[in-house]
Amino acid sequence: MQYQFIEDEISLQQLCQQYNNAEILAIDTEFVRTRTLYPKLGLLQIFDGKQLALIDPIAINDLSPFWQLLTNENIVKVLHACSEDLEVFLTSANCKPVNLIDSQIIMSFLGHGLSMGYAAMVEHFTGIELDKSESRTDWMKRPLTQKQLDYASADVDYLFQLYPKFIAEIEQAGRLDYAKQETQLLIERKFTPIDEDNLYSQMKMVYRLNSKQLNILQHLARWRFQQAKKRDLPIGFVAKDHTLMAIAQHNPQNIEAMNQLKGAELLDIRHKGKSMLSIVKIASQTSESDYPTKITRLDEYPGYKQIFKSVKAFIIAIAEKNGMTIENFASKKQINQFLTWHFNVNDVRTLASESSTKTPISNVDILTGWRNELFGQTLQAFADNDFKA
**Mean per-residue pLDDT, 164-189:** 97
Comparing C-alpha atoms, which of 335, 322, 375 is closest to residue 111?
Answer: 322
Q: Which one from 85, 157, 241, 265 is the annotated catalytic residue?
A: 85
Active site residue 182: no
Active site residue 155: yes
Active site residue 131: no
pLDDT category of residue 344 using cuts at 50, 70 and 90: low
**Domains, the chain, ordered by start:** 3-190 (3.30.420.10), 196-290 (1.10.150.80), 298-386 (1.10.150.80)
Distance CA(241)–CA(68), nearest Å, equals 39
Residue 356 predicted with pLDDT over 50: no
Q: Which one from 102, 134, 155, 365 is the annotated catalytic residue?
A: 155
Question: Over the stretch 235-269, which tens digit does the pLDDT of each residue have?
Answer: 999 999 999 999 999 999 999 999 999 999 999 99
**Mean per-residue pLDDT, 286-293:** 96
Residue 349 predicted with pLDDT over 50: no
Q: Which one from 19, 30, 157, 301 is the annotated catalytic residue?
A: 30
Q: Which one from 19, 28, 178, 365 is the annotated catalytic residue?
A: 28
Residue 353 predicted with pLDDT over 50: no
pTM of the model: 0.91
DSSP 350: B
Active site residue 151: yes
Active site residue 299: no
Lowest-confidence range among 38-47, 99-108, 241-250, 363-372?
363-372
Q: Which one from 3, 19, 118, 151 is the annotated catalytic residue?
A: 151
SS3 209: coil
Give the whole-number percent of the chain exceeding pLDDT 90.
85
User: With contact defined as beta carbons under 8 Å apart, do 263 and 246 qualify?
Assistant: yes
Question: Over the stretch 25-56, which tens digit does the pLDDT of each residue have?
Answer: 999 999 999 999 999 999 999 999 999 999 99
